[in-house]
Chain A
Amino acid sequence: MPDNAELLRLENLQVRFPMQSSAIDSILGRPKRVVRAVDGIDLNIARGEIVALVGESGSGKTTVGRIITKLVQPTGGRLLFDGTDMTMAHGVSGLRPYRHRVQMIFQDAYQALNPRHTVFDAVAEPLRSLGLVENHDQLTERVSESLSAAGLKPPEEFFARFPHELSGGQRQRVVVAGALGVRPELIVADEPVSMLDVSIRAQLLQALIDLREKYSLALLFITHDLPLAWLIADRIAVMYLGKVVEMGSADDITLKASHPYTLALRDATPKLHNEAGRGGVQALQGEVPSAARVPSGCRFHPRCPLAFERCRVEEPPAIAVGPQHTSACWLAK
């Protein structure tokens, strides 16, 4: 359970990529266009807390995960980890202690594992390269422990296996075990179960929840699946086009959602029971606009069924709609 000690804090974090301007643009002296992938995010995660970051493709949720794991350098704002400013940290030596404490689980276990490395090597690699073990016995012990914690039991049975000899669920657990081995304090998991069959998703999620209980591990869970976020997270942040539009407890966001975008996400989620004539809120049309052309005012206004004049010109701030529950919408109250 979260013990309220802040572990990670993002302050107005931004990532902008300059775009290649066309010859015509340069001749006409048009300003260079900029892709605002992440456009000012505030987010904090406590020790042992599970926060879900939810949004559709193109919302910037993966980029946030990559900033936290220092795979993408932010162009503005601050990234604080356990009180230390890590915004500008770079290079192998500068990041080694950080890599030890923050790990990432990628979506696609097929690609995240080297097909020519055994399970043992895959899990042992970060331990070796971060110099966390002194001898082979210690290494074996840590690898066994990580594999069991990720639910691969008995671990010795998996040591010599190659990724192709494992099922999809087992492969994803090897990736989890690899991230766990270094005993991190925060894991960023980017859609860790979206490639898995429904029947084994719950097993992997359970493994992640157990780890939180056992090691007080914090987790940033990136997904587009709102019910899944509700199932696993303490808090949910909903992202749209580079910004958090709503933030609150898992129940706040799923049951008392305030932002029209969150409502649209909720309504787009397929329902188990086919209620005839359900609806009310219109299905969301179109796609996320390009991050190079962020709309004026509220960035959601062109797709919002409730947009009015003010939304077109003025960007709404995060408005408190409950304890720990904020919504960036002019209609929020």
Chain B
Amino acid sequence: MNNRSQNTAPPLLKVDGLAVDYATSAISLRAINDVSFELRAGEAVALVGESGSGKTTTAMAIAGLLSPNARVVGGEVRYRGRPLPIDDDALMRPHRWSETSVIFQGAMNALNPVHRIVNQIAEPCILHGMSRGEALARATELLALVGIPADRCSAYPHQLSGGMRQRVMIAMALACRPSIVIGDEPTTALDVINQAQVLKLLVDLRTRFNLALILITHDLSVVAESCDRVMIMYSGRIVEDGTVAEIFAEPKHPYTRLLIDSIPTPGEGKRMLRPIPGDPPTLVKRPSGCAFHPRCPSAMEICTTEAPHLKQFGKGRVACHLHDSLPAADKVSANA
């Protein structure tokens, strides 16, 4: 994870001011708003947030896999400097799999139950121009890469365990040699032992192929060992962005701090539950001002009326009024 020589190169992916709405019959709901970040080749970034925070919408927008009732209402996504037609299904087709691919959560639903796994992995290869023979050879090679024994290649999905199926999903994501892999909660359905194995596999493959990884998860603890950077999302916005070391050692946003505190570590401190009060906001009823203010222990007057902007803070970024008023080294209060 140390060969960060690409750090001076232009970003592989640049997301700028992305906003996505979901339309229902009556109203249109903003799922994500003003999401901006850059991703460099070989970098692993975690997108952390609870259900409804917009992490999956962000990732699916990048992959051009938004559901039909979603609409990109602002911003753009650039891949190696050129804009991606993320809201056009047909134009996006050549970019999928070969530039950006997705490891979906719930492998049982994502795999076709009536096709052998080797054929399912060969399919994207064939669509991207390989002959059937080449594609099958490639599929077998990929399955070996993710640790599926050769004698299981012609198995059907139901004949594999949850961990094995997730490995098949990873093999499929790598089929067309993408440079960005998006993992949508790839280990959430697995138990700890399988989770550790799948995470290790992802980390190994990432190093080996210099993959950029976007890991979507609601579980901060899986991030520490697999990613370089973390972006915390809340109610459709990025609220904090920083390196794993910084975020865990010194979280800036109160939400991040509460999330970290809610992870139990045996032997450290007393056995005490530290709940975050309240429920996550829904898209329909989003609080005024900072969306986190009703649950925030440090909420101030301004938080109820004015949404904080995501601003550079040290090496990372944070969207919180607390850090507007604090004497930050390089940032003076912008909207006091």
Interface residues of A (CB under 8 A from B): 56-58, 167-170, 197-203, 205-206, 209, 224-228, 230-231, 250-251, 254-255, 264-265, 267-274, 283-285, 287
Contacts and interface: CB of A to CB of B under 8 A. Distances in A.
B266 interface: yes
A115 B193 CA distance: 34
A270 B266 contact: no
Nearest to A267: B196
A167 B282 contact: yes
B144 interface: no
B51 A197 contact: yes
Given A198-B220, A255-B267, A270 B276 contact: no
B193 A231 contact: no
B244 interface: yes
Interface in B249-300: 258-260, 262-267, 271, 273-277, 279-280, 282
A58 B192 CA distance: 13
Contacts of B237: none
Q: Is the interface of B mostly helix, strand, loop or mixed?
A: loop
Given A167-B282, A270-B221, A287-B194, A199 B258 contact: yes
Contacts of A224: 191-192
A53 to B, nearest CB: 13
A270 B225 contact: yes
A230 B271 contact: yes
B155 interface: no
Contacts of B276: 199-200, 202-203
Contacts of A250: 266, 271
Contacts of A254: 266-267
Contacts of A200: 50, 275-276, 279-280
Contacts of A209: 273
A221 B51 CA distance: 24
* Residue in A198, A228, A254 whose Cβ sees the most chain B Cβ within 10 Å: A198
B224 A273 contact: yes
Q: Could you say which interface size class chain B belongs to?
A: 35 or more
A38 to B, nearest CB: 18
A114 B220 CA distance: 32
Contact of B248 (A56, A58, A202, A272): A272
B219 interface: yes
B266 A169 contact: no
Contacts of B197: 283-285
A254 B265 CA distance: 10
Contact of B196 (A268, A273, A274): A268
A198 B50 contact: yes
B193 A56 contact: yes
A272 B192 contact: no
A67 to B, nearest CB: 21
8 contacts: A56-B191, A57-B162, A197-B280, A200-B276, A202-B275, A269-B196, A272-B248, A274-B248
B218 A198 contact: yes
Contacts of A268: 192-193, 195-196
A107 to B, nearest CB: 11
Given A202-B274, A283-B196, 19 more contacts: A167-B280, A168-B51, A202-B273, A203-B275, A224-B191, A225-B192, A228-B264, A254-B267, A265-B192, A269-B192, A270-B195, A270-B219, A272-B224, A273-B224, A273-B248, A274-B224, A274-B225, A274-B245, A287-B163
